[in-house]
Structure 1
Amino acid sequence: MNPRSSLPTTAVVGLTAVLLLAGCGGGDGDGDGDGDDGAKVADKASSASTTTGASASASPSASASAPSDGRPEISLPADDTLTFTPEQDSDPVKDAILKDNAEFVRALDAAIVAQNPRLPALEYYTEGEGAVAAQDWVQSFKKAGWTVTGTVRYTDRQVSVESKDRASLTYCGDESKGYTKVIKTGVIEHTKVTKNSYVAYGAQVQKNDKGVWELVKIASTRGADKCQP
């Protein structure tokens, strides 16, 4: 494949939401790994925008995120690294949204690695259309016999709070060092880095009665100018 988040480069979900998550290496490249590889298992679609987020240092995801407030523990293999910038915000509400968004992305990768579209951790951070999109996305990887590997950086993460329980956020994904891997053979699908290695995301989240900011919709634009290095 090769946009890892573009493995099945996207899973089209009901309405207009499109799932292009869990990062995945470059765009147009050698072999069969180009930005359209996902079409082998899922239809393509995209739409989203990003803005510049506050500054903060990014840190790689650990092999497991420590659970807190009843949240599930999420484990990722050593060869799958995700970083998030900024990790926090000076506003406590935005900080909570950023944290739960990062955990959602981590849960999505964990579900792909486990080849389990109904991974409890993924269901914990999704609802409605967002849950369907995430499950379809993971199912696409499972059907193709792929998993994810490498490093994906999520940057310029910015939150817009709309009400006490609804918000939206935008961010960029740098998949230039993220790839898909064939589970059966262990072969990593490398591709050269192109503009399609960079993806803009737009997500809608909603706070549930447990205080978790769940993903309810997501959209993406591969090759977005605002996310180019």
Structure 2
Amino acid sequence: MTPSPHREPSVNRRPTLLAAITLTAAAALTLSACGGDSDSKDKSNDKIAGADTGDKKSASPTASASTAADRPKIELPSDVKLTFTPEQASDDVKSAVLKDNAEFTRALNAAIVAQDPRLPALEYYTEGEGAAASEQWVKAFKDAGWTVTGTVRFFDRQVTVNSKNSASISYCGDESKGFSKVIKTNEVKGSKVTKDSYIAYGAQVQKNKEGVWELVKISSTRGADRCQP
């Protein structure tokens, strides 16, 4: 199932990433369930509120990438592990996109763990309505009293550079070892691995004036054939 922001995250599934940010949806949020048992009736193309980037900060063509010192420090607990393959590309621009996509993913998980919808690190890697959607996403888990645990593997990460300040990235997520956890009881939900434990993602990013590739749009397809082991 795909709960609304006023309902609990899907039982027995690990909510790790924004399911979708669309240009037309502006208010509704649904949670993409990840990993664990597969009893969802709506197993693909999960969606949340999206971002029209028309009022997005314009990126300077001469902007240089922010230094490591400028970027927020993201810390995850020892029971939350995320891996990314590949981490780099032969092209510098594509490598930067890969890095910032990974940092966005880590920031989103860190925000869920911290139960902080306005975690600075998450805001750093999102923009406009995309940032608002990310905030709602984390708030849904905070309201439900749920967090995440386990290991999620992101692989087959491919970047397409559309322009100097625009790019897209597609990748797969293996959430077969990632789970939901009830904060109050530490109860871990879900253990059964199914086709829906593997998700295909497609994201659009734009480079801001600091040189950070911010998330502005993302979609997912649960159980995608291209991501199956």
Same fold (TM over 0.5): yes
SS of the counterpart of 1:74? coil
Structure 2 unaligned regions, length at least 5: 1-10, 49-66
Structure 1 unaligned regions, length at least 5: 29-33, 39-43, 48-66
Inter-partner Cα distance in structure 2 for 1:94 and 1:193: 32
Inter-partner Cα distance in structure 2 for 1:209 and 1:19: 31
Partner in structure 2 of residue 198 of structure 1: 198
Inter-partner Cα distance in structure 2 for 1:153 and 1:98: 14
Q: Post-superposition shift, 1:137?
A: 1.3
Give the TM-score, by structure 2 length: 0.78
Please give the root-mean-square deviation of Cα atoms over the aligned residues, in Å: 2.7
Partner in structure 2 of residue 15 of structure 1: 24
Judged with a 3 Å threshold, the aligned counterparts in structure 2 of structure 1 residues 19 and 128 are, in CA distance, closer, same or farther, namely farther
Partner in structure 2 of residue 2 of structure 1: 12
Contact 2:21–2:218 (Cα < 8 Å) also in 1: no
Inter-partner Cα distance in structure 2 for 1:36 and 1:90: 41
Q: Do residues 90 (structure 1) and 90 (structure 2) align? A: yes
- 1:124-149 CA-to-partner distances (Å, cap 9, x unmatched) read 00012321221121111111110000
Partner in structure 2 of residue 116 of structure 1: 116
Percentage of matched positions with identical amino acids: 65
Partner in structure 1 of residue 154 of structure 2: 154
Number of aligned residue pairs: 198
SS of the counterpart of 1:102? helix
Inter-partner Cα distance in structure 1 for 2:12 and 2:105: 18
- 1:3-22 CA-to-partner distances (Å, cap 9, x unmatched) read 31379x8577662598867x
Give the TM-score, by structure 1 length: 0.78
Q: Of the two, which has the highest radius of gyration? A: 2
Contact 1:13–1:133 (Cα < 8 Å) also in 2: no
Inter-partner Cα distance in structure 1 for 2:123 and 2:227: 28
Q: Do residues 100 (structure 1) and 100 (structure 2) align? A: yes
SS of the counterpart of 2:163? coil
Partner in structure 1 of residue 209 of structure 2: 209
Q: Do residues 25 (structure 1) and 35 (structure 2) align? A: yes
Q: Tell me whether 80-89 or 9-18 shows the greater mean CA deviation.
A: 9-18
Question: Which residue identity is paired with 1:101?
Answer: N
